Amino acid sequence: MTTADVLIIVGPTPSSPRKIDRAAIGFGRKATDCISGELDLLLLGPAAETASSQFAHLGARKIYTIGHADLANYTAEAYTHAVCDFTSERNYRFLGGSASSATRDYFPRVAARLGIPMASEVLEIDQLTADQAQLVRAVFVGNLLATLSISGPQILATCRASAFEVPAEEVATESPVEVVTISHALALAGKQFLSLTEQTSDRPDLTEAEIIVSGGRGTRGAEGFQLLEQLADQLGAAIGCTRAVVDSGWMPNDLQVGQTGKVVAPKLYFAVAISGAIQHMAGMRSSKTVVAINKDPDAPIFEIADLGLVADMLEAVPQLTEALKG
Amino acid sequence: MKILVTIKRTPHRDARMRVAADGKSLETGDIAFEINPFDEIAVEEALRIKEAGKAQEVVAVTVGLEVAREQLLAALAMGADRGILVNSGGAAEKQELDSLQIAKTLSAVIQSEQPGLVIMGKLATDDENWQIAPMVAELLGWPQATFASKLELSEDGKTAQVTREVDAGLEEVELTLPALVTVDLRINEPRYASLPGIMKAKRKPLDVIEIEDLGGLADLGGIGQSCVRTVSYRALPAKEKGILVDSAAALAAALKERKLV
């Protein structure tokens, strides 16, 4: 018999909550509102225990941390094992988290191991009862919204970070923290982590940024991106790009926005020399304001732009950067 | 070594799907279907491994309706050696199978075929669930490497080194086979089927298995009930039409006026 409680899983845990973690907690709160349950947090990974105080004023009844040695380097197999060991003794109605390359990797393993249904990248919770859930998510490259009906006493779901937020004000009550000790091995023998090559940049992270300056194939490479970087510096913005740009080797993969890259929803998104393939639009169409600069007046990106300028980016972008300085 | 690849029949990547009048289904009458683009990349990767002499056979598997034969034939035309269609039409009636049921079905096929490597697309472009591959790996108790942009088998064929495209950058992992890998866009550029390839495909073995006849499902606890159903579709809310400005200066002024910068 499950309870009416909700568990939000964060892992690997960052040193302090990112936008996607706050969104996951907002998602969890929405779920608890629907079923009048309580919200707990599970933080996984080497930073979980030290970071727990950073998560202590977000409205959780309790925070659990697991900092097992096998979680030091991320593997889907070990994270799955940790989550399932934890949840098998506790009857949560709803297990949730935020969509990321990690949760896309290990959450389905958790669902399979627990034998429970899963919903990916949820945008809305329409209904949540003891044995039924109605959740809304985007399908067909973001062109349609589907309402799913999910039956069963326990479900696992990830949310799109763009769709949920936690209130800005902190909750006064501090969530108590319990360190969970697992004494057996969690790693799977056949999987070995070798290395992680992180891109370092002084600019804000794509999924954290309030403003994103993004370029497409029409930037013609380094020259165009240099101009975009100057604009981004002026605005304190993150840099993004399309698949074609990454395929050409002009920018690294972690800056790709779109169906197969990152889904972003900043306050302001500049789509520069981006024609607007549906796969790109799927990753940025929830942005509050979209500015398109393109020399082709028929580019599909103008269909979703709030502000458009038909111009060659090599001329228009330096002019814009200059005009914004004043 | 045998490599198994999975195939999903999906609407063409650029098709504009429309909701039918009942609000519960999609209008598919004039929609062209294809192999899910990421599965096509999986087929290509398997063929390259075979061509490099590190695998002997590439088997393509789909779970779906009889019409998915078309996509299996396309995979055989690219160069896969054999196809397996697990027909879900009878058992599932009109009820869609959910991800866990499909994962169980694929796991049962994999247990009977015993490949050294399973390669899948990292997502299907229709429902974009990103679920089935890790579910299959878990059900089999296998290691996985998702979102691969590079896959290299060791000389002895016992391990695979995989580069993964992750949010933070690039991750490298090593898998001991048997293992499951999902492929990302940049791992390869899939070939087009040649005309002789298309002719040959028709003579290649293509087995059809009714899902209820699939041995091995019982070991996985049976296929179970479908727990996830799509009850309705709707179009995105229409976006208010934007305005065009005629200069960079005017754009800057508009951004300032709206207090966006």
A186 lies in a domain? no
A188 lies in a domain? no
- Both A132 and A242 in one domain: the answer is no
Q: How confident is the model at residue A239 (pLDDT cuts 50, 70, 90)?
A: very high
Closest in A110, A262, A289 to B260, CB measured: A289
Closest in A112, A189, A196 to B168, CB measured: A196
The domain total for chain A is: 2
A214 neighbors A241 (Cβ within 8 angstroms):
yes
pLDDT per residue over A265-289, tens digit each? 999 999 999 999 999 999 999 999 9
Q: How confident is the model at residue A254 (pLDDT cuts 50, 70, 90)?
A: very high
Q: Which two tokens stand for residue B66?
A: 């009889």
- Both A35 and A138 in one domain: the answer is yes
- Both A28 and A156 in one domain: the answer is yes
The range of the structural domain enclosing residue B159 comes to 2-235
Locus of tokens 């063409």: B12
Residues of A in contact with B252 (CB under 8 A): 320, 323-324, 326
A197 lies in a domain? no
B64 lies in a domain? yes
B197 lies in a domain? yes
- 3-class DSSP state of B164: strand
The pLDDT assigned to B95 comes to 61
- 3-class DSSP state of B59: strand
A201 lies in a domain? no
Report chain A's C-alpha Rg in angstroms: 21
The domain total for chain B is: 1
The pLDDT assigned to A163 comes to 92
The Cα A93–Cα B176 span in angstroms is: 36
B38's enclosing H/E stretch is helix B37-51
B251 lies in a domain? no
Q: What does the pLDDT average to over B180-196? A: 96
Q: Which residues are within 8 A (CB) of A309 and not within 5 positions of it... i.e. 6 or more apart? A: A291, A292, A293, A316, B244, B245, B246, B247, B248, B250, B251
The range of the structural domain enclosing residue A95 comes to 6-179
B106 lies in a domain? yes
B252 lies in a domain? no
- Both A172 and A228 in one domain: the answer is no
Can you point out the beta strands (E) in chain A? 6-10, 39-44, 62-66, 94-98, 118-128, 132-139, 144-151, 155-159, 177-179, 191-198, 211-215, 238-241, 268-272, 289-294, 307-310
DSSP bridge pairs for A309: A293, B245
From A61, A14, A16, select the one nearest A41 (Cα to Cα): A61
ipTM of the complex: 0.96
Backbone angles phi, psi at B156, to 5 degrees: -80, 0
A213 neighbors A239 (Cβ within 8 angstroms):
yes
Q: Which two tokens stand for residue B41?
A: 């990349």
- Both A37 and A166 in one domain: the answer is yes
Which of B186, B228, B256 to mutate to test binding with chain A, by most A CBs within 10 Å of its CB? Answer: B228
The distance in angstroms from the start CA to the end CA of chain B is 58
- Both A135 and A93 in one domain: the answer is yes
Domain boundary among A179, A201, A231: A179
B125-164: burial string, b at 16+ Cβ within 10 Å, e else: bbbbbbbbbbbbbbbbebbbbbbbbbbebeeeeebbbbbb
The Cα A188–Cα A191 span in angstroms is: 6
Residues of A in contact with B143 (CB under 8 A): 77, 188, 190-191
- Both A175 and A217 in one domain: the answer is no
A312 lies in a domain? yes
Whether the bond between A12 and the residue before it is cis, its omega within 30 degrees of 0, is yes
B185 lies in a domain? yes
- The count of other CB atoms within 10 Å of the CB of residue B29 is 7
CATH for A293: 3.40.50.1220
- In this structure, of A234-238, B198-202, B239-243, the range with the lowest mean pLDDT score is B239-243
Does residue A276 come out as left (phi exceeding 0), alpha (psi in the -120 to 50 range) or beta?
left
A168 lies in a domain? yes
- 3-class DSSP state of B231: strand
Which of B128, B164, B189 to mutate to test binding with chain A, by most A CBs within 10 Å of its CB? Answer: B128
A195 lies in a domain? no
Residues of A in contact with B138 (CB under 8 A): 80, 108-110, 112-113
The Cα B197–Cα B62 span in angstroms is: 20
Q: With 70 as the cut, is the pLDDT of residue B94 above it?
A: no
- Both A159 and A260 in one domain: the answer is no
The Cα A52–Cα A67 span in angstroms is: 11
Which of B166, B223, B246 to mutate to test binding with chain A, by most A CBs within 10 Å of its CB? Answer: B166
- Both A171 and A220 in one domain: the answer is no
From B76, B88, B82, select the one nearest B40 (Cα to Cα): B76
Q: With 70 as the cut, is the pLDDT of residue B90 above it?
A: no
The Cα B177–Cα B98 span in angstroms is: 28
Q: With 70 as the cut, is the pLDDT of residue B123 above it?
A: yes
Domain boundary among A179, A201, A220: A179
B261 lies in a domain? no
CATH for B79: 3.40.50.620
pLDDT per residue over A97-122, tens digit each? 999 999 999 999 999 999 999 999 99
B217 neighbors B109 (Cβ within 8 angstroms):
no
CATH for A15: 3.40.50.620
Q: Chain B 15-34, CB below 8 Å of chain A: which residues?
A: 15-17, 19, 26
Q: How confident is the model at residue A1 (pLDDT cuts 50, 70, 90)?
A: low
Q: With 90 as the cut, is the pLDDT of residue B19 above it?
A: yes
B242 lies in a domain? no
